[in-house]
Amino acid sequence: MRVVRSIRTMQRLVSQAKRSGKRVGFVPTMGALHDGHRSLLRRCRRENDLAVLSIFVNPKQFGLREDFAKYPRREHDDKKLAKKEKVDIMFVPSVKEMYPEGYLTYIEVEKMTQFLCGRSRPGHFKGVTTVVGKLLNIVTPDVLYLGQKDAQQAAVLKRMARDLNFPVAVRVCPTVREADGLAMSSRNQYLPAGQRREAAVLYRALREARQGVAAGNRSSAGIAGGIRSRIGRESSGRIDYIECVDADTILPLKRIQGKTIIALAVWFGKTRLIDNIIVRT
């Protein structure tokens, strides 16, 4: 496995691979890799000739009062995991390499970024689409692998690729969970033991919502209310949002219809966790 820090080198290596007819798969991450990332890397490895992983904690997607400075950085462990998963290239650019002085250009997807995490984290998706747009131009992959865990992010990036004609196929992989159902996340390690135990309520509440939909409940407010009261009963979590949105447009639905994402963000202490499930009617 090669660790590459320069954009020029990354571009040269991929264009060589492509000239020899190789299919390139790409998994962008912020590192502190866990089994969720691993599932993306495995699929990328299986389906491509050249597997590229990027690790970049992107300052532009963090708000001023968010956790950029304390976000876990574990390059040494990440490298070991990536090697084990047979990644070919681990791309680890510095902030200066990605955003040299005088950087001025941004990508913004409208409407879909107004709700859910877009509402609670102003500017977040502008940072995400800008960095992934840049990474797609640098790595020029045939296939991009994203996780359903970040459902709005996946929908927004799919739309960006379509609207801006990035010649890339986007694959969204299922959410990988801990044994108690908590969605794996690099941020879970912020949680002290008590909050970590409580956080399992999120998936229990989402599963109960799925049962409600299966039993014929179509009211978004009713479903969200059920989730809210379960979280309130079984934890000290503070709700940021609970919403039912259309899976493609990410616009809120009054009634659950077609492919719907039930998504939530909940604070446990200083840690904000997100999760979601997809239901179909």
The b/e string for 217-255 (b: 16+ C-beta within 10 A; e otherwise) is: ebebebbbebbbebbeeebebeebbbbbbbbeebeebee
User: Which amino acid type is present at position 142?
Assistant: D
Contact window for ligand AMP (CB under 6 A) among 30-38, 97-105, 225-233, 269-277: 30-38
CB closer to ligand AMP out of 161 and 173: 173
Contacts with ligand AMP in 131-150 (CB under 6 A)?
Answer: 146-147, 149-150
Q: Is 54 a binder of ligand AMP (CB under 6 A)?
A: no
Q: Is 122 strand, coil or helix?
A: coil
The least CB distance from residue 68 to ligand AMP, in Å, is: 13
List, edge to edge, every strand of the sheet that includes 169-173.
2-4, 89-91, 50-55, 24-29, 143-147, 169-173
Name the one range near ligand AMP by CB under 6 A: 32-40, 102-110, 133-141, 267-275: 32-40
User: Can you tell me which of 37, 60, 124, 158 binds ligand AMP, judged by CB under 6 A?
Assistant: 37
Which of 24, 26, 29, 92 forms a contact with ligand AMP (CB under 6 A)?
Answer: 29
52 in contact with ligand AMP (CB under 6 A): no
Backbone torsions φ then ψ of 126, nearest 5 degrees: -60, -40
62 and 30 Cβ atoms separated by less than 8 Å: no
Site string for ligand AMP, 154-183 (x = CB under 6 A): -------------------x-xx------x
- In sequence order, what DSSP letters do the residues of 128-184 get, joined into one string? HHHHHHHHHHHH--SEEEEEGGGHHHHHHHHHHHHHTT---EEEEEPPPB-TTSPBP
The site map against ligand AMP for 177-216 (x = CB under 6 A) is ------xxxx------------------------------
For residue 252, what are its two tokens? 């809120």
**Amino acid sitting at position 217:** N
Q: Is 36 in the site for ligand AMP (CB under 6 A)?
A: yes
Task: Respond yes or no: is residue 34 known to be catalytic.
Answer: no
Closest CB 173 distance from ligand AMP, rounded Å: 6
Catalytic residues: 37
**Binding residues vs ligand AMP (CB under 6 A):** 29-30, 36-37, 39-40, 146-147, 149-150, 173, 175-176, 183-186
